[in-house]
Amino acid sequence: MYNCAYLQVHPPFSNPDGATHLLAEPSRCSGVKIDYRSLAAASVAVVSPVYINEFLVADPPPKVDRFIVDEFKNHWANRNKT
Protein backbone atom coordinates (compact mmCIF):
# COMPACT_ATOMS: atom_id res chain seq x y z
CA MET A 1 0.00 0.00 0.00
CA TYR A 2 1.25 3.47 -0.86
CA ASN A 3 1.33 6.36 1.56
CA CYS A 4 0.08 9.38 -0.40
CA ALA A 5 0.03 12.99 0.63
CA TYR A 6 -0.57 16.32 -1.01
CA LEU A 7 2.25 18.72 -0.24
CA GLN A 8 1.69 22.45 -0.28
CA VAL A 9 5.08 23.70 -1.44
CA HIS A 10 6.03 26.72 -3.47
CA PRO A 11 9.07 27.84 -5.43
CA PRO A 12 11.97 27.79 -4.82
CA PHE A 13 11.20 24.50 -2.97
CA SER A 14 13.94 25.11 -0.39
CA ASN A 15 12.21 23.08 2.33
CA PRO A 16 10.97 19.91 0.60
CA ASP A 17 9.96 18.00 3.75
CA GLY A 18 8.02 14.90 2.78
CA ALA A 19 8.73 15.21 -0.94
CA THR A 20 10.36 12.45 -2.97
CA HIS A 21 10.14 13.88 -6.49
CA LEU A 22 9.58 17.21 -8.21
CA LEU A 23 8.14 17.05 -11.72
CA ALA A 24 9.53 19.99 -13.65
CA GLU A 25 10.13 21.39 -17.12
CA PRO A 26 12.58 24.22 -16.41
CA SER A 27 12.46 25.42 -20.02
CA ARG A 28 8.75 26.17 -19.55
CA CYS A 29 9.14 27.81 -16.16
CA SER A 30 11.01 30.99 -16.97
CA GLY A 31 11.20 33.24 -13.96
CA VAL A 32 10.57 30.39 -11.50
CA LYS A 33 13.54 29.74 -9.25
CA ILE A 34 14.19 26.19 -8.09
CA ASP A 35 16.56 25.52 -5.19
CA TYR A 36 18.30 22.53 -6.77
CA ARG A 37 20.91 22.34 -4.01
CA SER A 38 18.30 21.96 -1.23
CA LEU A 39 16.32 19.43 -3.25
CA ALA A 40 19.43 17.33 -3.92
CA ALA A 41 20.49 17.53 -0.26
CA ALA A 42 17.05 16.17 0.69
CA SER A 43 17.31 13.44 -2.02
CA VAL A 44 14.32 14.88 -3.88
CA ALA A 45 14.71 13.96 -7.54
CA VAL A 46 13.84 16.70 -10.04
CA VAL A 47 12.52 14.77 -13.02
CA SER A 48 10.80 15.50 -16.31
CA PRO A 49 7.04 14.87 -16.48
CA VAL A 50 7.72 11.84 -18.70
CA TYR A 51 8.85 10.05 -15.52
CA ILE A 52 5.28 9.80 -14.20
CA ASN A 53 4.17 8.14 -17.46
CA GLU A 54 6.87 5.50 -17.17
CA PHE A 55 6.25 5.06 -13.46
CA LEU A 56 2.58 4.28 -14.07
CA VAL A 57 3.15 1.71 -16.81
CA ALA A 58 6.52 0.11 -16.09
CA ASP A 59 7.06 -2.92 -13.88
CA PRO A 60 9.43 -2.59 -12.13
CA PRO A 61 9.32 1.22 -11.86
CA PRO A 62 11.95 3.05 -13.94
CA LYS A 63 15.26 4.27 -12.55
CA VAL A 64 14.87 7.92 -11.63
CA ASP A 65 18.34 8.77 -12.95
CA ARG A 66 17.09 8.36 -16.53
CA PHE A 67 14.63 11.24 -16.07
CA ILE A 68 16.63 13.83 -14.10
CA VAL A 69 16.32 17.26 -15.76
CA ASP A 70 19.55 18.65 -17.21
CA GLU A 71 19.66 21.65 -14.87
CA PHE A 72 19.65 19.30 -11.86
CA LYS A 73 22.03 16.53 -12.99
CA ASN A 74 25.17 17.99 -11.41
CA HIS A 75 23.42 18.59 -8.08
CA TRP A 76 21.96 15.06 -8.12
CA ALA A 77 25.32 13.48 -8.91
CA ASN A 78 27.01 15.36 -6.06
CA ARG A 79 24.27 15.03 -3.44
CA ASN A 80 26.14 12.53 -1.22
CA LYS A 81 29.59 14.04 -1.59
CA THR A 82 31.00 16.13 1.22
Beta-bridged to residue 68, according to DSSP, are: 47
Q: How confident is residue 78, by pLDDT bands cut at 50, 70 and 90?
A: very high
What is the separation of C-alpha 42 from the centre of its chain, rounded to a whole number of angstroms?
10
Distance CA 10, CA 77 (A): 24
User: For the chain, what percent of residues have pLDDT higher than 70?
Assistant: 93
* pLDDT of 1 strictly over 60: no
Per-residue model confidence (pLDDT) at position 60: 93
Alpha-carbon span 40 to 63, nearest angstrom: 16
Whole-structure pTM value:
0.85
Which pLDDT band, with edges at 50, 70 and 90, does 29 fall under? confident
Distance CA 33, CA 39 (A): 12
